Amino acid sequence: MNKVIFTFLASLLLLVSVSCGNNSKSADGEIEVGITIYRYDDNFISFMRRNIETMLNGKVKFIMNDSENDQVKQNDQIDAAIQRNVDALAINLVDPASASFMINKIKPTGIPVIFFNKEPSKEDMLSYDKAWYVGTLSEESGNIQGELVVKAWTSNPNWDKNGDGVIQYVLLKGEAGHPDAEARTERIKAVLADNGINIEQLDEQTANWDILQAQNATDAWIEKFGNKIEFIFSNNDAMALGALKSIQKQGYNIGDAAKFIPIVGVDAIPEVIEEIKKGTVVGTVLQSPKDQAKAIVDMLLNVANEKDVLDGTEYKLDDVKAVRVPYRAITLENIEESAEAYK
């Protein structure tokens, strides 16, 4: 083939691919989306992941990656997705603070991105017009958890084991710097104070949302404080389960009313629902993996198809372009309300 014709054909090809625009970017012309999950072995997140997969199956080509709690790994996965020229991305950041780095990488490509579960800062969200967020309002979970504790504590005077009118508590914190962990830790204390409940913190430990780390922290607390602990506040349910495992080994929460330490969590995962039914956990705060996955998938498919992000939906965006799924208090009284969200 002569060089002129070759060049002509090559530019024609380029022109054709450019004019096809975003709509058939991947090599085979199919719409493709990329999803990264901060770690597959996070209890709550595993429900989100399975929902997202089920909802995307058969609708669009997608590649989902486990970032294994490693931000460097996640950066590489995003690079690879950009290389494949995906039509849209959904990112559950490893480190919420790395959003600006991610956006700097993605923005020049024009690929739309839906962040979820780990909320980027307002500044980061507003730095890219094709970035959106799906999650919850972090403070809300702490407020609801606080109200739940106020109600339970005031209706169970015998929980004040030393009778001093003060809750001696320990707190299991999620990952430091995670907006949910920070807000839940702060709000529960604030709500108790606002309701005139006196509290005394025996200790607070970061257990990174993790059952085992929570179990270890609680082992140490039981050894140190024993039955002086009058409440365990946990930023999530996985850690609440770890705490329960730990105290049950020492004879707490297995039937002896004199050896009972109330525990509260957040998420309403099925295992904790079972414990609430048994009376070993007092309550939790439902965040729906199903509703969040639905919002992520609806928005992801919209932007991948170059439609308006909210096309055909009833979601509302707030001032940081976030869709927020509401939380709900769950105790024995309304236990069935959590079932749908985790089906």
Please check whether residue 56 is in contact with residue 63, taking contact to mean a CB–CB distance below 8 angstroms.
Answer: no
- Using the rule CB under 6 A, is 117 a contact of ligand BGC? yes
- Using the rule CB under 5 A, is 160 a contact of Ca ion? yes
Q: Which stretch, 143-151, 160-168, 276-284, 307-315, contacts Ca ion (CB under 5 A)?
A: 160-168
Which tokens in the block code for residue 114?
């839906």
- Using the rule CB under 6 A, is 98 a contact of ligand BGC? no
Closest CA to 225 of 193, 275, 261, 256: 261
Residue with tokens 């975003």: 22
What gap in Å lies between CA 104 and CA 254, rounded to an integer? 53
> Considering CB under 5 A, how many residues would be counted as binding Ca ion?
5
Which tokens in the block code for residue 198?
């006196």
Helix crossing, 270-278 with 237-249: angle to 10°?
Answer: 50
Residue with tokens 């179990």: 215
Q: How far is the CB of 169 from Ca ion (least distance, A)?
A: 9
- Residues β-bridged to residue 63: 34
- Using the rule CB under 6 A, is 45 a contact of ligand BGC? yes
> Considering CB under 6 A, how many residues would be counted as binding ligand BGC?
12
Closest CB to ligand BGC among 40 and 159?
40
**Of ligand BGC, Ca ion, none, which one does residue 160 interact with (CB within 5 to 8 Å by kind)?**
Ca ion
Q: Which of 32, 33, 36, 44 binds ligand BGC (CB under 6 A)?
A: 44
What gap in Å lies between CA 220 and CA 33, rounded to an integer? 45
- Using the rule CB under 6 A, is 116 a contact of ligand BGC? no
Q: Residue 263 in 3-state DSSP?
A: strand
- Residues β-bridged to residue 168: 200
Q: Specify the amino acid at residue 142.
A: G
Closest CA to 297 of 38, 27, 64, 98: 64
**Of ligand BGC, Ca ion, none, which one does residue 204 interact with (CB within 5 to 8 Å by kind)?**
none
Closest CB to ligand BGC among 174 and 262?
174
User: How many CB atoms lie under 10 A from the CB of residue 306?
Assistant: 14
Closest CB to ligand BGC among 115 and 209?
209
Q: Residue 204 in 3-state DSSP?
A: strand
Residue with tokens 């409440």: 231
Q: How far is the CB of 327 from ligand BGC (least distance, A)?
A: 10
Q: How far is the CB of 80 from Ca ion (least distance, A)?
A: 54
Q: Which stretch, 39-47, 70-78, 224-232, 289-297, contacts ligand BGC (CB under 6 A)?
A: 39-47
Q: Which of 32, 119, 140, 180 binds ligand BGC (CB under 6 A)?
A: 180
- Using the rule CB under 6 A, is 209 a contact of ligand BGC? yes
Q: How far is the CB of 203 from Ca ion (least distance, A)?
A: 15
Please check whether residue 79 is in contact with residue 320, taking contact to mean a CB–CB distance below 8 angstroms.
Answer: no
Q: Which of 41, 76, 164, 311 binds Ca ion (CB under 5 A)?
A: 164
Binding region for Ca ion (CB under 5 A): 160, 162, 164, 166, 168
Binding region for ligand BGC (CB under 6 A): 42, 44-45, 117-118, 178, 180, 209, 236, 238, 266-267
